[in-house]
Amino acid sequence: MSDTITAPSTLFRFATAGSVDDGKSTLVGRLLHDSKAILADQLEAVARTSAERGFGAGTGFDFALLTDGLRAEREQGITIDVAYRYFSTGARSFILADCPGHVQYTRNMVTGATTADAVVVLIDARKGVLEQTRRHLSVVALLRVPHVIVAVNKIDLLGYDRGAFEQVAAEVRRVTGELGLDGVHVLPVSALEGDNIVERSANTAWYDGPALLELLESLPSHDELDTEYDPFRLSVQLVLRPQGGFAPDVADDPQRAETFRDYRAFAGRIGSGRVRVGDRVTVFPSGIETAVTGIDQAGASLDEAVAPQSVALRLADEIDAARGAVIAAAGTLPEARREFEAELFQLDPRPLAPGTRVLVKHGTTTVQGLVASIDAKRDLDTLEHVPATSLEVNDIGRATIRVAADLPLEPYGENRHAGSFLVIHPSDGRTLAAGITEQ
Amino acid sequence: MTDVLTATPARALDTLEVLEAEAIHIIREVVAEFERPVLLFSGGKDSVVVLHLAAKAFWPGRVPFPVLHVDTGHNFPEVLAFRDDTVERLGLRLEVALVQEYLDDGRLQERPDGTRNPLQTQPLLDAIAAGRHDAVFGGARRDEDKARAKERIISLRDEFGQWDPRNQRPELWSLYNGRHTPGQHVRAFPISNWTELDVWSYIEREGIELPPLYYAHEREVFRRDGMWRAVGEVSPPRPDEPVELRTVRYRTVGDMSCTGAVESDAADVTAVVREVAQSTLTERGATRADDRISEAAMEDRKKDGYF
Ligand SMILES: Nc1nc2c(ncn2[C@@H]2O[C@H](COP(=O)(O)OP(=O)(O)OP(=O)(O)O)[C@@H](O)[C@H]2O)c(=O)[nH]1
Ligand SMILES: [Mg+2]
């Protein structure tokens, strides 16, 4: 037993999506329950509340109560904000973001999707693809979430009918095809009854694909997919110069302390790729090329490090670099830009119009910016760009942004970290929009 | 490019390595973007782990911020001793907010049930204001409670220290937006995504020291509300509560008067990891009388400015 407990597992993050009431929270509760991640006291509390509310005529169990943790959510029976839940199965630990379906809380769904390795989009089999389903699928497509799973839910209410499933599945394939999503997995489930959630169900003998959990256990995560081939990038968070005093293990050893007297290293998290001691790197914004002489991780010196590790890099030359600098594999940084086109997800109720002054947060820098123009927005039925002069809340659209200092932006499709940014209100600090750069 | 493609794939990072990297990234972001951060440090395992991560984040330098303890006055003596040793060893400045002072001068009143956990909010907010702290690190984890499961990693508090769960900022990628107006501050939770088992596995892997009461030991206890309570000055048994000597350990440490022990013979960290992996109760459900009061106990306290 202790072997399986301490055996290293890998981490996989996924989020739910789909229209309101399609069964996301129920599915999450079912997944947690059937993978034995719910402990006795939690189960008891849910059973009590389910009974008090007369769920399922007294015998039922409202699985959604396992994640709908806010009072307002339980009272209204909807999800308002993302709930993060955790479970593990042998080789994998899962971080699960249960997102709200309601259009008013789209910003919270975007929150859950930005870090996801996979998104499970739920569809009520009786209703098919709804407007909000399309919106979520577009978000997922634009954010290039590595894996998309569409769970056609409530199949129990249609007598586990194959024809009904096939009909929805065909509609799903048409829409995801239009969106350019490939490799989409479509499966029939009943979140309430537990069909095809953890195990394949006898009720859908005609379905020969994997159950949801089998898929989640086998798909590679974003980091597993990318680190190998992506060029190395590290955004400098801060420069470590232990002038305020040394850590105790260094301070207690005068000889050691002496060797650290001139220590200077660039601390940050590897955004993509890998780095080895001896590698040539280019430092943005100076453009100076140098070599990596050390990779430190709290006392340990590493020969190499990979995304998403947090490390401190020592460089061969004395370079003037501070927070906001980017250290990259030599010769791989694109030209820095002061003006760029981006796709924006408008998250704030105040519309975004040309001429709006904003802050742009990218990597570890925040710079002044200006919305130069709003170029188009997406029609959610066709997903085509249509003319627009401003972006309203929940709109996804294209804008041109000018910034006051060079930003090392890269196409989001090539590099998630280097291609994403926040648009922030300069005085109240609220996040107005999430942005991704295009080619 | 070909040599890259044929290179042996690096070993995939395991869960603890990814969680550690995420936590260190968060801690560094907060230190880089805020003027006066502080870490809530109680000597409990979660805050010990956050402090350990902070030490790693800034090595070979020392942790560049002070720690703050909101002292209920209902302490386990061994935890206080541990707190002081740790602070001394790492060369940190310790700020203490005493609930007792508020009770003595009447700003707060003792509750009928005797627990002081909910009384920590006011002293905490006053200490944050007095220290002009704009960022407060905490060791809260989302797996602890349904309301915590909803909170952002960087969570904005208004001038009254309140959390507005219906109106949280979106938190996108790992771009944390901590901008705030004067009077507001943020709470930062670097180990949001860790489970109790992750914390224990990490303590084992890193060899992190904890107060001894986390490990099985003999203690005089009595049964109340289905939990084992320690016999102490602040938590005497009633006449109908017989005192027994049992082998117990604590899964959380907090206000001594309402924190329960669990029967256990897990005397070292490996045994605890095994025990936690097999536990059938959550740590709060098993050990916190105050969280059993209602489904929304934590949400209500958090809205008012609690940790
Ligand atoms: N019969 C049946 N009912 C289901 C199934 N899944 C969910 N439901 C019911 O559908 C209703 C909505 O479920 P939720 O899980 O709260 O839906 P949601 O997608 O999380 O909703 P929001 O988060 O508010 O967008 C509840 O009454 C569920 O019991 C299913 O597979 N079969
Ligand atoms: Mg829901």
Tens of pLDDT, residues A280-312: 999 999 999 999 999 999 888 999 999 999 999
Residues A255 and A302 in one domain: yes
Who among B21, B62, B179 is closest to A309 (CB)? Answer: B21
Q: Bridge-partner residues for A376, per DSSP?
A: A398
Residues A109 and A208 in one domain: yes
Residues A72 and A183 in one domain: yes
Residues A22 and A60 in one domain: yes
Ligand 1 atom nearest the C-alpha of A101 is 25
Who among A41, A250, A251 is closest to B281 (CB)? Answer: A41
* Average pLDDT over chain B, rounded to an integer: 88
Task: Examine the pLDDT at B52 and tell me if it is beyond 90.
Answer: yes
Whether residue A404 contacts residue A368, with contact meaning beta carbons closer than 8 Å, is answered with yes
Lowest mean pLDDT among A226-230, A260-264, B50-54, B90-94: A226-230
Residues A50 and A155 in one domain: yes
Which residue of chain B has the CA closest to A305?
B10
pLDDT the model gives residue B301: 72
Whether residue B125 contacts residue B132, with contact meaning beta carbons closer than 8 Å, is answered with no
Selection from A129, A119, A205, A203 nearest residue A171 by Cα: A129
Which residue of chain A has the CA closest to B275?
A2
CA A403 → CA A361, A370, A398, B280, distances in Å?
Answer: 10, 6, 16, 54
pTM score > 0.90 for this model? yes
Tens of pLDDT, residues A351-396: 999 999 999 999 999 999 999 999 999 987 777 889 999 999 999 9
Tens of pLDDT, residues A382-394: 778 899 999 999 9
Task: Examine the pLDDT at A6 and tell me if it is beyond 70.
Answer: no
All residues of chain B having their beta carbon less than 8 Å from the beta carbon of residue A112 are none
Q: Does residue A299 lie in a domain region? A: yes
Count of A–B CB contacts within 8 Å?
228
Is residue B116 packed enough to be buried (19+ CB in 10 Å), middle (13-18) or exposed (0-12)? buried
Selection from A109, A88, A89, A111 nearest residue A99 by Cα: A109
- DSSP-derived letter for residue A351 is P
Among A68, A96, A192, name the best residue to mutate to test ligand 1's pocket (greatest count of ligand atoms within 8 A of Cβ).
A192
CA–CA min distance B186, chain A (Å)? 12
Residues A154 and A174 in one domain: yes
pLDDT the model gives residue B284: 63
Selection from B157, B169, B115, B166 nearest residue B305 by Cα: B157
Q: Which residue, of A269, A295, A329, is where some domain finishes?
A: A329
* Average pLDDT over chain A, rounded to an integer: 90
pLDDT the model gives residue B231: 86
CA gap A34, A198 in Å, rounded = 7
Which residues form the domain of A51?
A: 10-225
Whether residue A244 contacts residue B64, with contact meaning beta carbons closer than 8 Å, is answered with yes
3 state SS of A274: strand
CA A401 → CA A284, A356, A379, A389, distances in Å?
Answer: 21, 10, 21, 14
Reported ipTM: the value is 0.93
3 state SS of A271: strand
CB neighbours of A334 closer than 8 A, spacing ≥ 6? A408, A409, A410
Selection from A90, A275, A307 nearest residue B13 by Cα: A307
Whether residue B228 contacts residue B221, with contact meaning beta carbons closer than 8 Å, is answered with yes
Q: Does residue A380 lie in a domain region? A: yes
* Residue A4 pLDDT grade (very low, low, confident, very high; cuts 50, 70, 90): very low
Query: Which ligand is nearest to the Cα of residue A19, counting in written order?
Result: 1
Residues A276 and A238 in one domain: yes
Q: Which residue, of A206, A225, A244, is where some domain finishes?
A: A225
Task: Examine the pLDDT at A1 and tell me if it is beyond 70.
Answer: no
How many domains is chain A built from?
3
DSSP states of A355-403 as a string?
A: T-EEEEEETTEEEEEEEEEEEEEE-TTT--EE--SSB-TT-EEEEEEEE
Q: Does residue A132 lie in a domain region? A: yes
pLDDT the model gives residue A439: 61
Whether residue A401 contacts residue A356, with contact meaning beta carbons closer than 8 Å, is answered with no
CA–CA min distance B8, chain A (Å)? 9
pLDDT the model gives residue A7: 52
Task: Examine the pLDDT at B127 and tell me if it is beyond 90.
Answer: yes
Among A16, A19, A20, A21, name the best residue to mutate to test ligand 1's pocket (greatest count of ligand atoms within 8 A of Cβ).
A21
Task: Examine the pLDDT at B258 and tell me if it is beyond 80.
Answer: no
Residues A368 and A289 in one domain: no
Query: Which ligand is nearest to the Cα of residue A67, counting in written order?
Result: 2
Q: Does residue A91 lie in a domain region? A: yes
For tokens 């017989």, the residue is: B242
CB neighbours of B223 closer than 8 A, spacing ≥ 6? B229, B241, B242
Among A26, A160, A193, name the best residue to mutate to test ligand 1's pocket (greatest count of ligand atoms within 8 A of Cβ).
A26
Q: Does residue A280 lie in a domain region? A: yes
Q: Does residue A112 lie in a domain region? A: yes
pLDDT the model gives residue B295: 59
All residues of chain B having their beta carbon less than 8 Å from the beta carbon of residue A9 are 14-15
Select from B152, B175, B181, B201 the residue whose CB has the most chain A CBs within 10 Å, as the one to mutate to test that interface.
B175
All residues of chain B having their beta carbon less than 8 Å from the beta carbon of residue A46 are none
CA gap B100, B110 in Å, rounded = 10
pLDDT the model gives residue B96: 95
Residue A290: CATH number of its domain: 2.40.30.10
Query: Cis peptide before B211, with omega less than 30 degrees from 0?
Result: no
Which run of H or E residues covers position A101? Answer: none
CA–CA min distance A128, chain B (Å)? 28
Q: Which residue, of A197, A225, A253, is where some domain finishes?
A: A225
Residues A245 and A198 in one domain: no
CB neighbours of A15 closer than 8 A, spacing ≥ 6? A82, A96, A97, A98, A99, A109, A112, A113, A116, A118, A119, A120
CB neighbours of A335 closer than 8 A, spacing ≥ 6? none
Residues in chain A: 439
Lowest mean pLDDT among A147-156, B185-194, B197-206, B277-286: B277-286
Q: Does residue A5 lie in a domain region? A: no
β strands within chain B, DSSP E: 37-40, 67-71, 94-98, 135-137, 154-157, 185-188, 217-224, 227-230, 244-250, 261-263
A96-122: average pLDDT: 92
CA–CA min distance A101, chain B (Å)? 15
Q: Does residue A289 lie in a domain region? A: yes
Whether residue A309 contacts residue B13, with contact meaning beta carbons closer than 8 Å, is answered with yes
Select from B4, B5, B13 the residue whose CB has the most chain A CBs within 10 Å, as the one to mutate to test that interface.
B13
Residue A126: CATH number of its domain: 3.40.50.300
Whether residue A315 contacts residue A290, with contact meaning beta carbons closer than 8 Å, is answered with yes
List of domains in chain B: 13-197+297-303 (3.40.50.620), 212-292 (no CATH)
**Ligand 1 site residues, Cβ closer than 6 angstroms:** A 20-26, 64, 78-79, 100-102, 122, 153-154, 156-157, 190-192
CA gap A61, B84 in Å, rounded = 48
pLDDT the model gives residue A212: 97
Task: Examine the pLDDT at A416 and tell me if it is beyond 50.
Answer: yes
CA B240 → CA A422, A424, B218, distances in Å?
Answer: 61, 60, 22
β strands within A125-243, DSSP E: 147-153, 185-188, 233-240
Residues A116 and A152 in one domain: yes
Q: Tell me, in angstroms, the distance from the centre of ligand 2 to residue A79's CA.
A: 4
Residues A142 and A238 in one domain: no
Buried b (16+ CB within 10 A) or exposed e, A189-209: bbbbbbbbbbebbebbeebee
Residues A16 and A131 in one domain: yes
Whether residue A417 contacts residue A235, with contact meaning beta carbons closer than 8 Å, is answered with yes
Query: Which ligand is nearest to the Cα of residue A156, counting in written order?
Result: 1
Tens of pLDDT, residues B222-245: 998 888 888 877 778 889 999 999
